[in-house]
Amino acid sequence: MSPTLLYAADLIAITLLVFGVYFPRHRRRDLIVAYLGVNVGVLAVSAALASSSVGAGLGLGLFGVLSIIRLRSAELDQDEVAYYFSALALGLLGGLGSAVGELAVLLMGLIVAVLYVAGHPRLLRRYRQQRIVLDRAFTDEPALVRHLEELLGARVHQANVQRVDLVNDTTLVDVRFELPRRPSAAPASRPAATATPPSNPAVLGQADPAAVLPQTGPVAARQSTPAATPPTVAGGGPGERW
C-alpha cells in the first residue's frame, strides 16, 4: 500500500478517535491538542525513520521516554491514558505500516472500535469507583462496609482503606461499588396547603359582624353625638343678618 494512503488513513482514524469518541464523552479540550500533536508527531518521525538507515527501535525508544515524561507531568485518568497510547499506536501504524499494507488500516480501525466499545457509557454503567473521606475512624472492616452501603445505597464489592486518622476521627477509603438496578423511588411529597379565601358575608346571607357588635371608643362617641344646630337671633326677621 502506498505510504500516502496510510498517512491519510491515520489522519482519518485519529480524527474519529478524538472528535467522534473522546471529546463527546470527556469534554477536555486541552487533551485534544495533546492527542493530535502526539499522533502527527509520531507519524512524521516514524515515516522519516522508515525511509532512513536509522533503526526504528531507536526512534520508538525515544518516543517511549518522551511519553513517560509527558504522562508523569500531569495526572490523567486511566481511560485518558488509553487514548494517549492509542494515538501513539495509530501514528506508528501510519508511519511504519507500509510493509503490512491493508493490515495496518484494519488495525487502525480495530483500535478505534475497541475504544468506542470499551469506553461506552452503557457498558457496566452501574459500577462505580470513588475515594471517600468518612467522618469516623473505622478499624473494623465489616462495620466499614456496612456503613458505606448505607451511605451510598449500593452494594460494596471492595473497600481499600488508605488512611485512618484516630486523632481527627477520619477514614480515607477507596470504594468499588455497584448501584442497584432500579433506584428506590423518592417518597411522594405532600401537596402544599392552600389558603382558603375568606367567605363574603353578603354572599352567604350573613350579617356583618362589625354591624352587630357594639362599637366603643371615639367612633361610637362621634356617632351618638347629635349634629349641632346653628344659633338663632331673637327678634330677627328672615332678611336680617348677624
pLDDT tens-digit series, residues 122-139: 888 889 999 999 999 999
**Within a 10 A sphere around the Cβ of 115, how many other Cβ atoms?**
18
How far CA 125 is from CA of 78, 118, 129, 179, in Å, comes to 16, 11, 11, 9
Residue 200: pLDDT over 60: no
Return phi, psi of residue 52, to 5°. -125, 175
Range with the largest mean pLDDT of 7-11, 74-78, 100-104: 7-11
Q: What is the 3-state secondary structure (H, E, C) of 43-61?
A: HHHHHHHHCCCCCHHHHHH
pLDDT tens-digit series, residues 52-96: 665 556 656 666 666 665 555 567 788 888 998 899 899 989 988
The candidate with the shortest Cα–Cα distance to 164, out of 191, 135, 192, 190, is 135
Helix (H) or strand (E) holding 127: strand 127-134
Residue 185: pLDDT over 60: no
Q: Is the pTM of this model over 0.85?
A: no
In whole angstroms, what is the distance from residue 99 CA to residue 119 CA?
A: 31
In whole angstroms, what is the distance from residue 138 CA to residue 140 CA?
A: 6
From the number of C-beta atoms within 10 Å of its C-beta (0-12, 13-18, 19+), residue 75 rates as: exposed
User: What is the grid cell recorded at 214?
Assistant: 357594639
